[in-house]
Amino acid sequence: IQKIMNVVISAAKDTKKLGKEDPRRIIHSFKVGLAITLVSLFYYFDFLYEGFGVSAMWAVMTVVVVFEFSVGATLGKGVNRAIATLLGGALGVGAHRLASFTGEKVECIMLGLSVFLIASMVTFIRFFPKLKARYDYGLLIFILTFCLISVSGVRDDEVLEMAHRRLSTILIGGLATVFVSIFICPIWAGKDLHNLTANNIEKLAIFLQGFGHEYFETTNDKNQENKASMDGYKTVLNSKGTEEALVNFAKWEPRHSKFRYRHPWDLYLKIGALTRECAYRIDALNGYLHSEMQTPMETRAKIQESCTKMSSECSYALKKLASGINTMTCSLPADAHILNAKAAAKKLKSSLKPGLWPETDLVDIIPVATVASLLIEIASCTVKIADSV
Amino acid sequence: IQKIMNVVISAAKDTKKLGKEDPRRIIHSFKVGLAITLVSLFYYFDFLYEGFGVSAMWAVMTVVVVFEFSVGATLGKGVNRAIATLLGGALGVGAHRLASFTGEKVECIMLGLSVFLIASMVTFIRFFPKLKARYDYGLLIFILTFCLISVSGVRDDEVLEMAHRRLSTILIGGLATVFVSIFICPIWAGKDLHNLTANNIEKLAIFLQGFGHEYFETTNDKNQENKASMDGYKTVLNSKGTEEALVNFAKWEPRHSKFRYRHPWDLYLKIGALTRECAYRIDALNGYLHSEMQTPMETRAKIQESCTKMSSECSYALKKLASGINTMTCSLPADAHILNAKAAAKKLKSSLKPGLWPETDLVDIIPVATVASLLIEIASCTVKIADSV
């Protein structure tokens, strides 16, 4: 019993955490419940049920399957489903008509053959990367509708009416879904994408801010805390998939809040790619924090000033860029920091003139030099990000 | 007309390319067609149709929706769908029974409320990351079945039979799908994962092999060709999503070819993570090939020998590891190369003693030193990968 209690308690904790992390999840859950309940009214009222009969279930089904977390994903799936049902149904009715001119046996063979061919062809078409990204669901529904309509025709001669009922119930379900999704606390994929991009840049900034202290061990009390937040950049490394999905969804969305209809969503992919490139450098840099080849502190101290300066200036610049993206303003203040970072890089280079390092072993310098030059690379990445914002 | 012709021709070319890239795609398409045709036989033969009636469409639907590219994905979806239909149907029947003890109006309200609550709750449960990874589809189908069964009950009093018909047709469809998927040219996700892991390691090896020539510009004719294949490592950077999906699928698969039932699939994730870490370092290294800060060739020449040696030894070691994974043998031969690489790293370190570099500017050395030390880091990554294979 103790064990079961523990499981229940930890599950409750997880639930609470999940809800706190993103309260929109709770809202979304209730929205789905609401939409399904709305559509199931078809079953409760006689005057609604009479029009559709058993087909009313397609409406419920559409809501369950189409309702996604963000408006863009929902709209994309809904439009896909509606158009695919229309086309698949039309083709199915056509195939049935064509086959019905022949005898019964030939009809069966012809229909079976057409189902086989269409299903195989469309399944293959689903592999095209471009179509897969945006119309995968539509192609699936196309196969489904075509097969159901054309094959049912063998048993039921009112194919046209069946197709019509199916299409209209799916439209009703789809419209209810889209309505609830857009007009009750909408969750915009475009906004999420925007925030994700800004947050990712900020995570890099946080790392760079902490790096100076960490590497030159000017320890203070907040060190442990810092370390945790510095690891935040690691999620940036694998952000590509999420970003691409969000861009896809965002393209389906209508104009909303501060985003125009044809917002340049592809630009976010470009910024994301540069952010990741910068994150790869940072990951390499992070390796030196815990590397086996440690440089004596005295050696590090010589480049401390300019390195710390460079990393903190890059950090400021990235932060400015992030907040510039957040507020959608031009990011002039970031330019100043980038200039500072460049100046620090120059100073760092000049501090590495041979004369200044008479007695130190070159082996000791290498990691430091690497750190320095990675920082320089990161600075130039920063410049690139700044240019494309 | 010319334009349309062009579109058709390029589409045909794309199709051919897609088929050549992975001929299993064509086989998969035909398998889907075959399975659908098999299941639609229910409509053609009277003695089969009589048992199920219109419910036969659930079988067709199951095949279309459940049939995925790999055996693991198909099995996962099929099992999810079957169990979810069973549980959802049982709960739906239960809810209907409970509500039917009350009056008609109260029944409607109770059913509506239960649909709302269950749908909201399960939608929220879908956000739990662990459940999302493996049972997302099952939870969706659970909502669907519960709503359809409990709501239909208002109209049709033979709920139990309806639920039973639905379950059995879905089982038939699922079994047909799984049968075709496993016994006709099966496509194993586990095998794909295995190959992907080996290929990714090999891509890094190819880069390291080419790097020595590229950086020290010992140009030969094959340079342009090399460059293209060196960029192969870039796909490794973003391989995390694919890998996780494949591991998920592979866990559903039964024992096949050289893989035992409880093959340690999670180990692949670990190797993958190390491979990516190494790839990040390589990406940073790649930055120096095209960096603005170029070091004069004379300076580079001094470390050429040991650097080239190190990168090629790492490359050999990685290649040995990759082929070791491919053939599933222990990778002793790789150890020798790793020892060589370590020796080269030591030699490189000693060649950087200060006395040997009297007249050169330290600024010039830094990038070279960075390259060298990144190579050392890569070597230690290689060791880690070797340990975990």
- Full DSSP string of A260-317: -TT--HHHHHHHHHHHHHHHHHHHHHHHHHT-SSPPPHHHHHHHHHHHHHHHHHHHHH
Cβ–Cβ under 8 Å, residues A178 and A121: no
Residue with tokens 């060589």, as numbered in its chain: B340
CA distance B239 to chain A (A): 8
For chain A, what is the mean pLDDT?
A: 75
Please state, as a whole number, how many other Cβ atoms lie within 10 Å of the Cβ of residue B331.
18
Q: Mean pLDDT highest for which of A153-162, B66-75, B306-315?
A: B66-75
What would the pLDDT profile of B205-219 be if each residue is shown by its tens digit? 787 777 767 666 654
pLDDT at B142: 92
Q: Where is pLDDT greater, at A238 or A263?
A: A238
Tell whether B26 lies on the interface with A, counting CB pairs under 8 A: yes
Burial of A271 (0-12, 13-18, 19+ CB in 10 A): buried
The helix (H) or strand (E) run that includes residue B232 is: none
Among the partner-chain residues B18, B352, B370, the one whose CB lies closest to the CB of A370 is B370
Mean pLDDT across the stretch A116-124?
90
pLDDT at B364: 47
pLDDT at B104: 73
Scanning A334-373 for CB atoms below 8 A from B yields 349-350, 352-354, 357, 360-363, 365-367, 369-370, 372-373
Q: Where is pLDDT greater, at A329 or B126?
A: B126
Residue B369 has pLDDT above 70, yes or no: no
Q: Where does the pLDDT of residue B139 fall: very low under 50, low under 70, confident under 90, or very high at 90 and above?
A: very high
Residue B61 has pLDDT above 80, yes or no: yes
Among the partner-chain residues B49, B124, B370, the one whose CB lies closest to the CB of A373 is B370
Tell whether A216 lies on the interface with B, counting CB pairs under 8 A: no
Identify which of A58, A292, A42 has the alpha carbon closest to the alpha carbon of residue A170: A58
Residue B1 has pLDDT above 80, yes or no: no
Identify which of A66, A245, A302, A237 has the alpha carbon closest to the alpha carbon of residue B239: A237
Q: Where does the pLDDT of residue A224 fall: very low under 50, low under 70, confident under 90, or very high at 90 and above?
A: low
Among the partner-chain residues A18, A49, A119, the one whose CB lies closest to the CB of B128 is A18
CA distance B337 to chain A (A): 21
pLDDT at A382: 58
CA distance B221 to chain A (A): 30
Lowest mean pLDDT among A254-268, A339-353, B69-83, B145-159: A339-353
Residues in chain A: 389
What residues of B are in contact with residue A55 (Cβ under 8 Å)?
none
Identify which of A39, A140, A125 has the alpha carbon closest to the alpha carbon of residue A85: A140
- Residue percentage of chain B with pLDDT more than 90: 2
CA distance A284 to chain B (A): 6
Residue B244 has pLDDT above 80, yes or no: yes
Scanning B267-296 for CB atoms below 8 A from A yields 276-277, 280-281, 283-284, 287, 291-293
Residue B363 has pLDDT above 50, yes or no: no
What residues of A are in contact with residue B18 (Cβ under 8 Å)?
124, 127-128
Q: Residue B253 — left, alpha, or beta (φ > 0 → left; ψ -120 to 50 → alpha)?
A: beta
Tell whether A81 lies on the interface with B, counting CB pairs under 8 A: no
What would the pLDDT profile of A356-370 be if each residue is shown by its tens digit? 444 444 444 444 555
Identify which of A385, A196, A344, A143 has the alpha carbon closest to the alpha carbon of residue B35: A143
Residue with tokens 């409880």, as numbered in its chain: B262
Among the partner-chain residues B120, B147, B362, the one whose CB lies closest to the CB of A64 is B147
Residue B355 has pLDDT above 60, yes or no: no
Residue A221 has pLDDT above 60, yes or no: no
Mean pLDDT across the stretch B27-48?
83
Q: Where does the pLDDT of residue B338 fall: very low under 50, low under 70, confident under 90, or very high at 90 and above?
A: low
Q: What is the CA radius of gyration of chain B?
A: 30
Mean pLDDT across the stretch B95-111?
80
Mean pLDDT across the stretch B152-171?
78
pLDDT at A356: 47
For chain B, what is the mean pLDDT?
A: 75
Q: Where does the pLDDT of residue B360 fall: very low under 50, low under 70, confident under 90, or very high at 90 and above?
A: very low
Spatial separation of the C-alpha atoms in residues A186 and A31, rounded to whole Å: 10
Cβ–Cβ under 8 Å, residues A204 and A278: yes
Cβ–Cβ under 8 Å, residues A214 and A290: no
Mean pLDDT across the stretch A213-236?
63
Residue A355 has pLDDT above 50, yes or no: no
- Residue percentage of chain A with pLDDT more than 70: 67
Q: Where is pLDDT greater, at A226 or B121?
A: B121
Lowest mean pLDDT among A19-33, A155-169, B224-238: B224-238
Lowest mean pLDDT among A209-218, A361-370, B188-197: A361-370
User: Which pair of structure tokens corresponds to residue B341?
Assistant: 């690489």
Mean pLDDT across the stretch A239-248?
84
User: Is this complex scored with an ipTM above 0.85?
Assistant: no
What would the pLDDT profile of A287-341 be if each residue is shown by its tens digit? 666 655 555 666 666 666 666 776 677 777 777 777 766 766 655 555 666 666 6
Q: Mutation test of the interface with chain A: which of B34, B54, B124, choosing the one with the most A Cβ atoms within 10 A?
A: B124
* Long-range contacts of residues B292-297, Cβ cutoff 8 Å, at least 24 apart: B292/A380, B293/A373, B293/A376, B293/B366, B293/B367, B294/B367, B295/B364, B295/B365, B295/B367, B295/B368, B296/B364, B297/B216, B297/B217
Q: Where does the pLDDT of residue B248 fall: very low under 50, low under 70, confident under 90, or very high at 90 and above?
A: confident
Q: Where is pLDDT greater, at B388 or A107?
A: A107
Give helix then strand counts, H and E, for chain A: 17, 0
The helix (H) or strand (E) run that includes residue A187 is: none
Identify which of B325, B315, B321 has the alpha carbon closest to the alpha carbon of residue B334: B321
For B243, what's the count of Cα atoms within 13 Å in the CB-facing half-sphere?
26
Residue A73 has pLDDT above 60, yes or no: yes
What are the CA-CA distances from residue B178 to residues A261, B66, B70, B87, B193 (Å)?
A: 44, 9, 10, 21, 20
